[in-house]
Amino acid sequence: MNTWKRQMAVVFGVALSASLLWGCSGGGGSDKGAGSAGGKESQKAEASAEGSQGQGSGQGENSQTAGSVQKESSQAAGGTGEISWPEGDIQCIVTAGAGGGTDAVARAVTTPLEKELGKPVVVINNGSAGGMVGMEEIAAAAPDGYTLGVFSNTDVANFVYGSDGCEFVLEDFTYIAGLNSTGDVLVMKKGSPYQTIDGFIAYARENPGAVTVALPSTIQNLSLSLMNQAMGIETTGVVYEGGNKVFADLVGGHIDAGILSAKFIAQADEQGMTILGLMLDERLETFPDIPTFQEQGYDISNPAVRMLVGPKDIPQELVSKIEDALKVCYEGDAREGLLTIGESPVLRTGEELDTFLQDDFAMREELLK
């Protein structure tokens, strides 16, 4: 009898959790008539579309098609003429853990953005599988503007071109705006005998392959190969789990050099480590003293731009509305917020972003494939 009771209790607990989690993961958008449009949950998406019609909003039309053909949905929204978005919470899936660089940029922008839009923008961190899972969720969401995301061009291209397990393509997303501008820097270990580019190159040429360069993840392999090409040297990349560990081993002198994101410049400076150059076309607003490799005669450019994105086929009216709101934010709070965390606030939208991404993704495809 007692065992039976206990078993019922277990079943009850599972049922409770299942219903709650179901509500959290799938139904987050249902009250706004969005529903998640993942293949498995198509039934549910239909149900939520039905529910939302009761609300009688312009969004109802949109969501009817959420589970099936996404192109139609954009036409439907286009047909309604005016846009009433946003009517509810907007969720923003950040494909990195809380406390990191991408998260900081996302929050510095979403905080003023929600004031501008008048509705909460809820940041959800999903850094699982290096961010791949979060990207999948963004790609699978309904293109109604209630599911947005933040990731960088480097991350998404690295998955699409460099990883076997990746099941989305670059065209699965709507790229709304570039939020910042940053790049990698080449940092020498603490107390390194090589304080100039010439010295570093000379040593690397003498000992091909013997120079070890720490990389925060496989993504920086690209920076490394660009560097090797431009300098005509051969170095060995050593992959770490994150910039913090790279930084630790550089301070400890366990590895010759490291390629780190520009946000480490201040810390590296504090430890008296030499930074040979920045892998961008022009200097950063936040660190004007760090020269680019370009101006020192080496063509190394690997720009990393965190972008506000959404699933593909978000109606153009909606994108324009978000762009306008962002432009207002970058006049004030978003700019200041980004500068405080050491990020250069460069807003790229519309054609500017498209051109940038076209060139950037083409470069990455060539190097990563």
* Min dist. Cβ of residue 299 to other proteins (A): 25
- Judged by CB under 8 A, the number of residues near other proteins is 73
Show contacts with other proteins in window 317-346 (CB under 8 A).
Answer: 340-342
Structure tokens, 360: 């950037």
CA angle at 128 for the pair 140 and 43, rounded to the nearest 5°: 30
The binding track of 154-193 with respect to other proteins, each residue x by CB under 8 A or -, is --------xxxx-x--------------------------
Least distance to other proteins from the beta carbon of 319, Å? 25
Q: Identify each DSSP E strand in 114-221 by its residue range.
A: 121-125, 147-152, 173-178, 184-188, 212-215
Q: Which CB atom, from 146 or from 240, has the smaller least distance to other proteins?
A: 240
Structural tokens at position 221: 């392999």
Positions in 115-134 near other proteins (CB under 8 A): 123-130, 132-134
Least distance CB 240 / other proteins (angstroms):
7
Exactly one of 13, 191, 232, 332 binds other proteins (CB under 8 A); which one?
Answer: 13
Reported residue count of the chain is: 369
DSSP string of 10-58?
Answer: HHHHHHHHHHHHHHHHTGGGGGGT-----GGGHHHHHHHHHHHHTTT-H
Task: State in angstroms the smallest separation of the CB of 223 from other proteins.
Answer: 16
Backbone angles phi, psi at 25, to 5 degrees: -80, -40
* 39 scored as a contact of other proteins (CB under 8 A): no
69 binds other proteins (CB under 8 A): no
Q: What share of the chain is helix, strand, coil (3-state, %, to 5)?
A: 55, 15, 30
The residue within the footprint of other proteins, chosen from 68, 75, 195, 236 (CB under 8 A), is: 236
With a CB cutoff of 8 Å and minimum separation 6, the contacts of 91 are: 28, 29, 121, 122, 124, 146, 147, 148
Q: Is 217 in the site for other proteins (CB under 8 A)?
A: yes
**For residue 25, which amino acid is it?**
S
> What are 214's two structure tokens?
């720490």
- In the region spanning residues 88 to 107, those forming contacts with other proteins, defined by CB under 8 A, are 93, 97-100, 103-104, 107
> Sheet holding 184-188: strands in order across?
236-239, 212-215, 257-261, 184-188, 275-278
Out of 79, 191, 193, 209, the only residue in the binding site for other proteins (CB under 8 A) is 209
**Binding range to other proteins, per CB under 8 A, among 68-76, 260-268, 276-284, 318-326:** 260-268
User: Which position among 42, 53, 80, 218 is part of the footprint of other proteins (CB under 8 A)?
Assistant: 218
